[in-house]
Amino acid sequence: MKISQDKSAIVIRIISLIIIIGLVITIILPLINIFALAFNSGVDAQKGGITFFPRKFSLDNFKEIFK
């Protein structure tokens, strides 16, 4: 009896971890995209060629906001 409860507890933990990892990825990827857009040049953002690491690092977007 106790063995089946332990197996079910393990299955529930695995399913919970999969759901949590999925939620974390769902939350973090848009944040990474926002930072990638912020540090890329505006031309790259308009072309749609944004990657996780900026091709041409630029702070022009921040200069535009704070002027």
Q: Which pTM value belongs to this model?
A: 0.61
**What is the number of structural domains in the chain?**
1
Q: Is pLDDT at 1 greater than 60 in this prediction?
A: no
Q: What angle do CA 42, 48, 51 make, to 5 degrees?
A: 90
The encoded tokens of residue 12 equal: 């529930």
Contact 32, 52 (CB under 8 A): yes
Amino acid in position 62: F
- 4-49 pLDDT, tens per residue? 668 888 999 999 999 999 999 999 988 988 888 888 877 776 777 6
Q: 18 by DSSP, 3-state: which? A: helix
Per the structure, the complete domain to which residue 16 belongs is given by 2-65
> What's residue 32's pLDDT?
86
Contact 45, 58 (CB under 8 A): no
- Compute the average pLDDT of residues 49-66: 76
